[in-house]
């Protein structure tokens, strides 16, 4: 279909179809065009794009702080240990002049979007002494009852999924639980599954709430099911459940597992946000590694549906198509971010597309209707494991045209330190490790993993600028060190004694214990990377051509007063990018605690502001009474060690 014909269809036929058959689509279109931010990624497809352009490349340097709001979360952390893991990663919704967002402990807060006045708060009273793998919430979702009018009491519901495994529906007017939903407003997501968490807002599509889960999957083999479930948005009744580990021999993916047995593996869960395409009745699910992450001898085969982008028919939960980004994962290479849905200009036509960014630094783009690759993908040979019982995949999929981002392989020459002594220490650390580049499997001598499980790209994801056809993402350049120890030869306390800094994965039920560390040094000068810079970048990929448009350093990790070149070295980052029709890309996320605006076309930094705490959240933008605002949460990250806070920071032109 030629582009002008496609445009004609969209302009003249699609609106009528939307209004008649898809009230959600018509409503979301109005929210989007009127400068609201009604979903985690603004539209249900997670594009992370605002059509607002009052703030633009010509005036971004004039941005000033408009208002701030303290959530009180720091007081919540008192007398608990959760601050050690807590991360304020929320991206608020803005609907009809009200901001709705969640805190790391799942309190939900509603504010006036214009001035930040508190309207209500809801506390689900999560057990703050619980042993959670993650203490975060990336946001809330909404559901609108199309049978009611905006004035009706139950027209708009706010949905929060909690770190203790509950799904709660709140009345948007007063923040009280909706008693007609589930049991007094709550669904127990652990029922029939086991202990799970949820850190991402659920997807809402055609009166269904579709939700995944989080589990810390390095301690056992037999983790709970990573089932994705759909609930009736009105009543909370379970409509369907889909397990990424197939147990039906008739399922095409079943043969890619060596007798998939729930007692031999689990997880493969979807912990990142899902994306929805209401017009096509599709929900896009990014899945993770089966458990445990670093040994797959009990789950031989490619393990299809795990580490994949899976398109499910939203009304039934049936698989429409899938693409596996990693075969038989041994690296914790989950598909970590919300799939991005957009229209891609290809050979003069506009194609409904979906893109995923990955921890490997690989980007894959597909026709979202049928899974056809929009850019070529090829299988390439990868290193083989020498660990008894393990059977690695012989090849892995690589983008053949789109750029490969992040660390690919390091050598002794890539060792780095700000002094000769620290550089020599880095060389000594790297030299004895197994190091054959990406997909080098875990080993007894220790394996350098490039990229690490932190990325490449991570949950921060990507945004898409439809006018410029640019996919924009932040990239980490960090190597991990993975070592396996035979369980029958090494006790946990012995392993811990020689790996005091490393994370230990017991992998109970397997023959091996795992340790995970990273190639950096903690010294009197702070965190010192042991590989050459850059350590973090912001990159734009031109999806008209499939080429890298630009890549620039993002953030500062070392003191420029002592190291002037540090401004070119970049920083590790967790927290994504948001782009606007004003030609701007906004991002925080870096270890230096800055919030920045870049020219989307060139990558030039145009504005920056120091935040009061780490800004490890994805920003958003909205308009109220003719004025555009840009917002980011500044609450720090316990695991990263950035300063903790509890503030919502909102900027605008004077």
Query: How far apart are alpha carbons 500 and 588 in whole angstroms?
Result: 31
Catalytic residue among 277, 332, 343, 592: 332
Q: Which pLDDT score, from 0 to 100, does residue 412 have?
A: 87
Kindly list the structural domains of the chain, giving each domain's residue range(s) and its CATH number in brackets, ordered by start.
34-653 (2.140.10.10)
* 592 alpha carbon, distance to own chain's centre: 21
- CB-count exposure of residue 79 (10 Å: 0-12, 13-18, 19+): exposed
pLDDT of residue 431: 95
**DSSP letter string over 107-171?**
-EEEEETTT--EEEEE-----TTS--S-EE----EEEE-TTS-TTSTTSEEEEEE-TTSEEEEEE
**How do residues 419-476 score in pLDDT, each as one tens digit?**
999 999 999 999 999 999 999 999 999 999 999 999 999 999 999 999 999 999 999 9
Q: What percent of the chain has pLDDT over 90?
A: 87
Instruction: From 529, 330, 512, 536, select the one nearest 430 (Cα to Cα).
Output: 529
Structure tokens at 105: 């402990």
pLDDT for residue 11: 33
pLDDT of residue 443: 98
Q: Residue 471 is encoded by which pair of tokens?
A: 């996919």
Block means of pLDDT (10 residues each) for the chain, 654 residues, are 37 36 86 97 98 98 98 92 93 98 98 98 94 95 95 96 98 98 98 94 97 90 94 98 94 89 85 98 98 95 97 98 98 98 92 98 98 98 98 98 96 93 95 96 97 97 98 98 93 86 92 96 86 98 97 96 95 98 98 98 98 98 98 96 95 96
Q: Strand 98-102 vs strand 108-112: parallel, antiparallel, or unpaired?
A: antiparallel
Q: Are 625 and 646 in contact (CB under 8 A)?
A: no
| 332 given a catalytic annotation | yes
Pairing, β 377-381 against β 395-399: antiparallel
d(CA 409, CA 429): 15
- The pLDDT value recorded for residue 21 is 53
The DSSP output letter for 10 is I
Global pTM value: 0.95
Cβ pair 305, 246 in contact under 8 A: yes
Cis peptide upstream of residue 534 (ω within 30 degrees of 0): yes
């Amino acid at each position: 279909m030629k582009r002008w014909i496609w445009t004609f269809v969209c302009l003249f036929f699609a609106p009528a179809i939307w209004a008649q058959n898809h009230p959600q689509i018509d409503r979301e279109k109005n929210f989007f065009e009127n400068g609201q931010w009604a979903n985690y990624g603004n539209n249900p497809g997670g594009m992370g794009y605002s059509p607002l352009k009052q703030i633009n490349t010509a005036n971004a340097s004039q941005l000033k702080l408009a208002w701030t709001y303290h959530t009180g979360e720091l007081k919540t952390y008192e007398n608990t240990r959760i601050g050690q893991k807590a991360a304020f990663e929320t991206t608020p919704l803005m609907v009809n002049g009200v901001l709705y967002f969640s805190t790391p402990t799942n309190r939900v807060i509603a504010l006036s979007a214009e001035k930040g006045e508190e309207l209500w708060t809801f506390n689900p009273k999560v057990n703050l002494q619980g042993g959670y793998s993650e203490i975060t919430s990336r946001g809330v979702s909404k559901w609108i009852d199309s049978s009611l009018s905006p004035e009706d009491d139950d027209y708009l519901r706010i949905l929060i999924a909690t770190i203790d495994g509950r799904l709660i529906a709140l009345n948007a007017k007063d923040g009280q639980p909706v008693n007609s939903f589930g049991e007094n407003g709550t669904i127990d997501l652990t029922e029939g599954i086991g202990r799970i968490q949820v850190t991402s807002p659920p997807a809402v599509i055609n009166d269904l709430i579709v939700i995944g889960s989080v589990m810390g999957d390095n301690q056992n083999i037999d983790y709970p099911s990573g089932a994705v479930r759909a609930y009736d948005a009105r009543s909370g009744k379970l409509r369907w459940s889909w397990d990424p580990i197939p147990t039906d021999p008739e399922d095409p993916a079943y043969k890619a597992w060596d007798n998939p047995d729930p007692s031999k593996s689990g997880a493969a869960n979807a912990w990142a946000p899902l994306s929805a395409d209401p017009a096509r009745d599709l929900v896009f699910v990014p899945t993770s590694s089966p458990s445990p992450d670093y040994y797959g001898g009990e789950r031989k085969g490619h393990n299809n549906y795990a580490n994949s982008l899976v398109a499910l028919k939203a009304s039934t939960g049936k698989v429409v198509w899938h693409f596996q980004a990693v075969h038989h994962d041994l690296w914790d290479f989950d598909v970590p971010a919300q799939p991005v849905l957009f229209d891609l200009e290809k050979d003069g036509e506009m194609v409904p597309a979906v893109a995923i960014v990955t921890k490997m630094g690989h980007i894959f783009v597909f026709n979202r209707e049928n899974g056809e690759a929009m850019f070529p993908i090829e299988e390439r040979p990868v290193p083989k494991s020498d660990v008894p019982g393990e059977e690695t995949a012989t090849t892995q999929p690589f983008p053949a045209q789109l750029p490969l981002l992040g660390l690919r392989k390091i050598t002794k020459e890539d060792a780095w330190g700000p002094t000769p002594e620290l550089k020599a220490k880095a060389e000594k650390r790297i030299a004895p490790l197994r190091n054959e580049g990406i997909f080098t499997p875990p080993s007894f001598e220790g394996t350098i993993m490039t990229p690490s499980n932190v990325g490449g790209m991570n949950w921060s994801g990507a945004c898409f600028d439809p006018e410029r056809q640019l996919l924009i993402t932040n990239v980490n350049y960090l190597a991990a060190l993975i070592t396996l120890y035979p369980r029958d030869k090494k006790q946990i306390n012995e392993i811990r004694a020689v790996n005091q800094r490393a994370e230990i994965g017991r992998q109970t039920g397997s023959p091996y214990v795992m340790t995970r560390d990273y190639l950096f040094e903690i010294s009197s000068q702070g965190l010192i990377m042991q590989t050459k810079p850059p350590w973090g970048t912001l990159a734009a990929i031109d999806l008209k051509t499939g080429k890298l448009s630009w890549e620039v350093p993002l953030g500062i990790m070392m003191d420029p007063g002592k190291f002037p070149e540090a401004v070119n070295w970049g920083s590790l980052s967790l927290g994504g990018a948001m782009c606007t029709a004003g030609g701007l890309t906004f991002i925080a996320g870096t270890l230096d605690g800055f919030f920045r605006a870049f020219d989307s076309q060139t990558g030039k930094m145009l504005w920056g502001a120091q935040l009061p705490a780490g800004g490890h959240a994805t920003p958003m933008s909205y308009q109220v009474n003719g004025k555009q605002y840009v917002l980011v949460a500044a609450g720090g990250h316990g695991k990263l060690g950035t300063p903790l806070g509890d503030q919502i920071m909102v900027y605008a032109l004077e």
